[in-house]
């Protein structure tokens, strides 16, 4: 459980060093880390899986940012991601119980979150989801799950 960084040489070979950053988020599982660079910040997006009985969603995407690719990454409140911080980018709604395993791509000069959503309806299963991501005045990403 947690995130790791593996240093690579320019040719793509592994330098055989792994730095482990422990993530202890109330017994939650983190997966699918993705780093996106925009202007002077690196943004770390991760999927956090269901971890409390009182939450009505199965997965959410949280985000933190840093001026260094190796961190430390913090949420909008300044709390370190490796200490349980991170800002909620999206979680479930009435149609989806959660969105997970994302990546960010730029198409036609727009940033898009690509991932999968867990359908609450009788279809069940997951659905490919592509959501436009906008940036607020404080340079934090925002998405609207109601848009697909």
Query: Which neighbouring-strand residues pair with 104?
Result: 113
Is the pTM for the entire model greater than 0.85?
no
For 114-138, the pLDDT digits (tens) are 988 877 776 667 888 888 999 999 9
pLDDT, residue 36, reads 94
23 pLDDT band, cuts 50/70/90, is very low
Q: What average pLDDT does the segment 95-108 reach? A: 84
Of 62, 82, 61, 60, nearest in space to 71 by CA: 82
Provide the terminal-to-terminal Cα distance of the chain, rounded to the nearest Å.
31
């Amino acid at each position: 459980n947690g995130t790791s960084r593996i240093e690579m040489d320019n040719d793509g070979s592994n330098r055989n060093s792994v730095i482990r950053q422990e993530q202890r988020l109330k017994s939650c599982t983190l997966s699918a880390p993705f780093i996106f660079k925009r202007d002077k910040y690196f943004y770390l997006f991760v999927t956090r899986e269901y971890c409390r009985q009182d939450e009505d969603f199965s997965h959410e995407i949280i985000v933190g940012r840093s001026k260094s690719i190796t961190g430390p990454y913090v949420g909008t409140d300044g709390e370190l991601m490796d200490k349980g911080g991170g800002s909620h980018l999206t979680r479930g709604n009435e149609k989806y119980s959660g969105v997970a395993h994302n990546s960010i791509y730029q198409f036609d000069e727009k940033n898009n979150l690509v991932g999968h959503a867990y359908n609450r309806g009788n279809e069940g299963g997951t659905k490919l989801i592509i959501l436009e991501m906008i940036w607020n005045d404080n340079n934090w990403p925002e998405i609207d799950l109601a848009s697909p």
